[in-house]
Structure 1
Amino acid sequence: MVKDVTIKAWKPVFPMEIKRLSKEVFMFIFHHEVDLHKFYMKRPWSIRGGHLVLKRWSPDLTWQEVDFSTSSIWVQVHGLPPLWRIEENLRRLGSRVGAVLEVDLIGEPGSAWRKFIKLRVEVDIANPLSPRVFLPHPNRSDLWIGLKYEKIADLCYRCGIIGHDQKNCFAEVFKLNYQSGKRFKAAGPWLRVENKDIPKEIAATSLTSNPASSSNPSCQ
């Protein structure tokens, strides 16, 4: 099944071998660097809802020593003010999620109204995915900077961890504190790039504390 799914999805130009090393660990052998680089750089991948963690295997290690506790994921950063969109600030923000590997400033240089910025982050997949960073905003409510994760398959909306859904989860509900000390459910559809929602508690707070002005629609 793993072989059929990966070959169909990746369509390698050169032959690719797949060997099963354990119940959940597979070795992919590429016969050309071009194929390896293409599939590795487009990670993460999923196989029938399961999150596939791809790691390059160094010959000086046994496969049991390969660290599969982290995964490289593209994280979209939404709602960041234009003045904050410099690499130093973005790396600092991304470090709240994991180790920042790459910063991709979407759009043409100087474009202040990009919809989002992308960071490739090495995420600890044993921990819940963070939905946000609160950015201090002098004399105003802290800004909700939404984080959305690309190409994630099974994600639990109860505990916020990749690899299962909430039907099979008995962990405590993952909650975070808002600036007022109010707790809110942190994991939900808003962690996915195809969803534009934010937690309802944050939405309600935004509507009551920062009402949009009809005379200045560009500030909405």
Structure 2
Amino acid sequence: MEELENRFGMNLQLFDKEWQGVVIEEDGIANMMMGSQFTLVARVLTTRAIHRDVFVGAFKSLWKGIDEVSIKEIDDSLFLVRFTNQRDMHRVLDMELWTFRDSLVLLAKVWTSIDARSINLTLGTFWVQLHGIPPLTMTAAVAQKIGSLVGRVIEVDQTGDEDCLGHFLRVHIRIDVSQALMRGAFVAFLEKGSRWVDL
């Protein structure tokens, strides 16, 4: 009431309908924010204002696959992305890392019973290079073990069943971007001793 008196003056008198108002049930608004079968939530990590129409226009053309994609802004820098099929949704997830105007775009699946605004988006998918590994120890198992220090390993870049010989190993990793990035780590090799591996 104090807020209304500040807006309309101290002698404010409300009509019966104004006092009564209306009650909005949770299920009346919850469905809009719930994920459908093929839904992602996207957050642009930036402190700058995001022009909704520019973001939607750019990513509708980038993320359109077999069918159209629907992108709606649901909060500041937060968008609900709905696909009509699983293939299009997985294509967008497989092609991560996405950026918008030099800012990282984080993606996460939204399940049908989850409110998209409640998802904590801190994970991004990156290809990480591992430098300084002795040549004869450059295997997928070594890449997997070292990569797990950084985050959840999705895949190791290798050709068929061959080892990963080359100048460095490449690992696709899901990383918590709210944490400081690792520069490297000491890795103990049984016959080679402990070495610093650059990430």
TM-score band, normalised by the shorter chain? 0.5 to 0.7
Greater displacement, 60-69 / 45-54: 60-69
Local SS of the residue matching 2:109? coil
TM-score (norm 2): 0.63
1:68-217 pair list within 5 angstroms: 68-105=121-158, 107=159, 109-110=161-162, 113-136=165-188, 142-147=194-199
Is contact 1:103–1:118 with CA below 8 Å preserved after alignment? yes
Q: Which has the higher helix share?
A: 2
- Aligned-partner residue type, residue 69 of structure 1: T
Is contact 2:124–2:174 with CA below 8 Å preserved after alignment? yes
Cα deviation for residue 84 of structure 1 reads 2.6
- Aligned-partner residue type, residue 90 of structure 1: A
Is contact 2:60–2:71 with CA below 8 Å preserved after alignment? no
Q: Which has the higher contact order (CA 8 A, sep 6+)?
A: 2
| Aligned-residue CA RMSD (Å) | 2.5
Q: Which runs of 5+ in 2 are unaligned?
A: 1-53
- Aligned-partner residue type, residue 34 of structure 1: R
TM-score (norm 1): 0.57
- Greater Rg by CA: 2
2:164 and 2:55 map into 1 onto residues whose CA distance is 43
Residues 73-115 of structure 1, C-alpha deviation per residue, up to 9 Å, x if partnerless?
Answer: 221222322333333332221122112222222x464466323
Is contact 1:19–1:28 with CA below 8 Å preserved after alignment? yes
Q: Which runs of 5+ in 1 are unaligned?
A: 148-220
Tell me the matched-pair count: 146
Cα deviation for residue 135 of structure 1 reads 2.9
Give the percent of matched residue pairs that are identical in Structure 1 and Structure 2. 23
1:11 and 1:21 map into 2 onto residues whose CA distance is 20
Local SS of the residue matching 2:59? helix
1:215 aligned partner: none
